Chains A and B, each alone.
Chain A
Amino acid sequence: MADTLKISNFQFGCICFTYLSGFSTLFFNEAKILQQDVWMANVSAIVLSILILWLMKHVQVQYPDKTMTEIYQVLLGKWLGKAAVVGTLLYAVSITVLTLRALSLFYTTAILPHTSPELIMLMLVLTTSYSVYLGLETIVRTVQVMLPLFLISITVICLLMIPNVETNPFLPAFHSRLPEIAYGTLLSYAFPFGKGTLLIFLFHRIGNKKRLMAGTSIGLVLSCAYLLIATYLAIGSLGTNLMKSATFPFFSSIQLVKIGLYLERIEIVIIGIWTVFTLFETIVAHYLFTTIVSELFRIQEPKRFILPFGLLFFAIGTRSYVRPTELELYNTTILPFSTLLPTLILPLILGFLTLFRGQNGNRRLRDDP
């Protein structure tokens, strides 16, 4: 945790892709509303996400020596800035708890029906705590090692799914109403693309900040492409009605894959690889939470707080979304609105404050102690 080494733009791009794609193919909430028109929502959400990250990169470049937590306090004032960072911390808790619950629900539904969700969440929390303890460099290096493995296996499984596509997944096109597309965009921005705004708290750790958007944009666009490919393969394999009613549509469609007459249950292998991949999302969220809290409260030894923060996620997780329907209802009705403040409104305010203050104002602020 006390690591201060810089990471490269390529490594940050890998983190972006991993962080956004871990859970993106689990529920397909926006596809369940828009079906064939889902690409409009996903593309709009990814464009919005790239714009927000570009704006925040501009903010970070104006204050190259400061962390994002400090920039919040410089631009919004000490107490308002701290309140805004606390709001972001609540958002980080929200998505970490959602991730823990979603993964435990997936495991208890798909492969471990007799295992307690609490036990799965505890194992996840212990794993993420250990990873955060090892530091950002270790996390980034591990992502670089695991990413090709994941990409190869998911490409193979997608190719094997193509023969199961019986209906044209793109037709009928343009049948959704404008409000539905707008709400689908909101859903897609809330989960998964808006989560990317938490990564702005890693911007000060990147070596070459001026070329930051190149790696970030590639990571974001690839995660959008992966989500779209998975969505349309699921629609084509299952049909729209089954896709809308399935809890985990992508894995239901992977279950249909068979190689010859002897190799079945390919999804079990995929679940193993996918679990490792999804863990990175929780690890990055846990790491960011620990970093932001230690910056906000000026904690000198953040390593001692890693396990308690993990246990905090576990404790809140045991009391949240106990029934699967609660999780689904929260994801589709509350999450799109609750994420707007930390992922869209606050970055926009910070971006416009920086743009309007101009270079002179920034120089004066930078000189302030």
Chain B
Amino acid sequence: MISVLVCIANLVYGTSQSIRIWKKRRRSDAVFLLVLTLYITGYFVPFTAPYWPTVQKVNRALFQPISDFLLHFLQIRTENP
């Protein structure tokens, strides 16, 4: 429910502000805001949300092997007893 409301508010705000900026002839800013709005919307749409990148997914993909290797190599236990 909250996510749906935020998604609608995001679309309304982003579109209206993009149009306002476009009319002031700062077209690159308007396009940037519109792309940002559509990108944020992707996190709330059920079909796209699982595929949209998050920092957690990206960093896990990049650093999990390094972390696993180093923790094993240094014999460090991070989990609680």
Docked-complex contact A338 and B59, CB < 8 angstroms: yes
A210 within 8 A of B: no
Count the A residues whose beta carbon is within 8 Å of the partner chain — how many? 43
By secondary structure, the B interface counts as: helix
Within the assembled complex, what's the spacing in Å between the Cα atoms of A341 and B44?
Answer: 30
Docked-complex contact A118 and B55, CB < 8 angstroms: no
Q: Which of A90, A118, A241, A297 contacts B2 (CB 8 A)?
A: A118
Q: Which of A122, A297, A301, A321 contacts B56 (CB 8 A)?
A: A321
Docked-complex contact B44 and A315, CB < 8 angstroms: yes
Known interface pairs A241-B81, A333-B67, A338-B62; A179-B3 also in contact (CB < 8 Å): no
Top 10 A-B residue pairs of the complex, sorted by shortest distance between their CB atoms? A315-B43, A179-B74, A338-B59, A94-B55, A332-B78, A337-B63, A320-B56, A118-B2, A333-B67, A320-B54
A interface residue numbers (CB < 8 A to B): 32-33, 90, 93-94, 97, 116, 118-119, 122, 179-180, 182-183, 241, 244-245, 297, 299-301, 304-305, 307-308, 311-312, 314-316, 318-321, 326, 330, 332-338
Q: List 30 contacting pairs A-B, 8 Å CB cutoff, sorted by A.
A: A33-B77, A93-B55, A94-B55, A116-B2, A183-B74, A183-B76, A244-B81, A297-B29, A300-B26, A301-B21, A301-B29, A305-B33, A305-B36, A307-B13, A308-B10, A308-B40, A311-B6, A311-B9, A312-B36, A312-B39, A315-B6, A316-B55, A318-B3, A330-B56, A333-B68, A333-B71, A334-B63, A334-B67, A335-B59, A338-B62
